[in-house]
Amino acid sequence: MAKHKAPTQITIGSIQQQTLFNELVERYWKLGATLLAAGAIAILIPTYLNSKARTAHHSLWDDLSAQAELGGGFRSIQGGPPESLALFADQHKDSRVGGWAKALEVGGHIEGDELDRAEKAAAQLEELWPDHVLSRAKLYRGSDGSARSLSESILSEKGKLGAWEKEHSFLFSNPDLPPDAPRLRLNTSKGPIVVGLYVDRTPQHSANFLELAKAGFYNGTKFHRVVRGKLIQGGDPNTIAGEPDSWGLGGPESTLELELDPRLRHFRGVLVAWRADNSTRSHGSQFFLTTSDQHEMDGQTVVFGRTLEGDATIEAIESGAVVEDRPQDPVVIESIEVL
């Protein structure tokens, strides 16, 4: 499953004070302004450039200005969309302005907490523009006081962030399944989905689902509710032969006491017991699978499992035509196997 970022923004190390790119701007805005001024002077001297070349040179810097939103001088520079800057840099590999576009792209990725992309862009800057100030100078200081290049500093920040995320993994994902967790394969008309159950944290819900699956309760039922970007819901016996108006209303009379574990949160790809709005207990058979993070449900409905395989199947179910959350061609659970 994909890794999910916690809703709380987290900053570490030097990023708390200022980003790497802001530090560059603070230290070298005068140098940048000088370079811009020197370029402008060179453009204005007819001895060096003919009229056509001057126009082309102006055009490059004007284009970069449009991409990077140059405001009141180099000191107030703001990075534009990194994707646009990357394209601009690629189109002007042989120009000095291309190097600055790539530098702005690095800054944009850093501002967006995309350190992997920032590292890749910094490596491209060093490879294609080796004489750029960010390629050859060690402008940053590590925690040990050593001088570091832009790439080295980004790599250091990635290491710090990785260590922090490992220490606080509960903010980004649910705990691992226990070693003895039951695993079940839902064979659907669109393909298989494999789930594992948190028998250690939600024993009643896990046992109930396992018992119903073994008894064939879910065979022939449909995923009767699809909320795109949120969830797919199934487990209602009314969907086997009942009228569509009755879908979502069926199931056993028994319900389950809520087993709300604060460590089990509604990340993408979790198996959750359905709970009616007017009920204080979980439904006896209906369940849903989340197709995105749904943290507003944390503490409200019981997460009792997670998907292990079948992302493509879930996406196929979610992408089908729906009318008011009801699929026009519902996907059927043909059988469930205990693995």
> What pLDDT digit, counting tens, does each position of 261-283 carry?
999 999 999 999 999 888 999 99
Q: Which residue has the higher pLDDT, 20 or 326?
A: 326
| Separation CA 268–CA 2 (nearest Å) | 8
Q: Which residue has the higher pLDDT, 144 or 203?
A: 203
Q: Which of the four pLDDT bands, split at 50, 70 and 90, describes residue 157?
A: confident
Domain that residue 214 falls in? 183-338
Residues 249 and 324 in one domain: yes
CB-based contact 313:191 (threshold 8 Å): yes
Q: Which residue has the higher pLDDT, 226 or 12?
A: 226
Strands (E), 104-229: 140-141, 147-148, 183-188, 191-197, 225-227
Residues 209 and 328 in one domain: yes
Residues 219 and 277 in one domain: yes
Number of domains in the chain: 2
What does the pLDDT read at residue 6? Answer: 44
Residues 134 and 207 in one domain: no
Residues 230 and 308 in one domain: yes
Residues 158 and 211 in one domain: no
**Is residue 178 included in any domain, yes or no?**
no
Q: Which of 122, 145, 170 is the last residue of a domain?
A: 170
Q: Which of 120-129, 139-148, 300-309 has the lowest mean pLDDT?
A: 139-148
Q: Which of the four pLDDT bands, split at 50, 70 and 90, describes residue 62?
A: low
What does the pLDDT read at residue 52? Answer: 47
Q: What angle do CA 294, 170, 158 make, to 5 degrees?
A: 105
What does the pLDDT read at residue 123? Answer: 93
Q: Which of 119, 144, 170 is the last residue of a domain?
A: 170
Buried b (16+ CB within 10 A) or exposed e, 178-212: eeebbebbbbbebeebbbbbbbebbebbbebbbeb
**Is residue 177 included in any domain, yes or no?**
no
Percent of the chain with pLDDT over 90: 50
**Is residue 4 included in any domain, yes or no?**
no
What does the pLDDT read at residue 267? Answer: 95
Q: Which of the four pLDDT bands, split at 50, 70 and 90, describes residue 200?
A: very high
Residues 166 and 17 in one domain: yes
Is residue 165's pLDDT more than 70? yes
Cross-strand bridge partners of residue 271: 289, 305
Residue 174, φ and ψ in degrees, nearest 5: -80, 165
**Is residue 7 included in any domain, yes or no?**
no
Residues 93 and 226 in one domain: no
What does the pLDDT read at residue 233? Answer: 97
What does the pLDDT read at residue 136? Answer: 86
**Is residue 197 included in any domain, yes or no?**
yes
Residues 293 and 329 in one domain: yes
What does the pLDDT read at residue 74? Answer: 34
Q: Which of the four pLDDT bands, split at 50, 70 and 90, describes residue 53?
A: very low
Q: Taking residues 127-149, what's their average pLDDT?
A: 86
What does the pLDDT read at residue 82? Answer: 86
Residues 98 and 225 in one domain: no
What does the pLDDT read at residue 40? Answer: 44
Q: Which of 36-45, 83-92, 267-276 has the lowest mean pLDDT?
A: 36-45
Checking phi first, is residue 242 left (phi over 0); if not, alpha (psi -120 to 50) or beta?
Answer: beta
**Secondary structure letter of residue 15 according to DSSP:** G
**Is residue 155 included in any domain, yes or no?**
yes
**Is residue 247 included in any domain, yes or no?**
yes
Mean pLDDT of the chain: 81
Question: Residue 315, Cβ neighbours under 10 Å: how many?
Answer: 12
Q: Which of 170, 198, 213 is the last residue of a domain?
A: 170
Is residue 37's pLDDT more than 50? no
| Separation CA 335–CA 221 (nearest Å) | 9
| Separation CA 5–CA 24 (nearest Å) | 28
What does the pLDDT read at residue 177? Answer: 95
**Is residue 145 included in any domain, yes or no?**
yes
> Is this prediction's pTM over 0.95?
no
Residues 163 and 189 in one domain: no
Residue 61 tokens, joined: 């810097």
What does the pLDDT read at residue 333? Answer: 98
Is residue 205's pLDDT more than 90? yes
Q: Which of the four pLDDT bands, split at 50, 70 and 90, describes residue 60?
A: low
Residues 188 and 149 in one domain: no
What does the pLDDT read at residue 112? Answer: 79
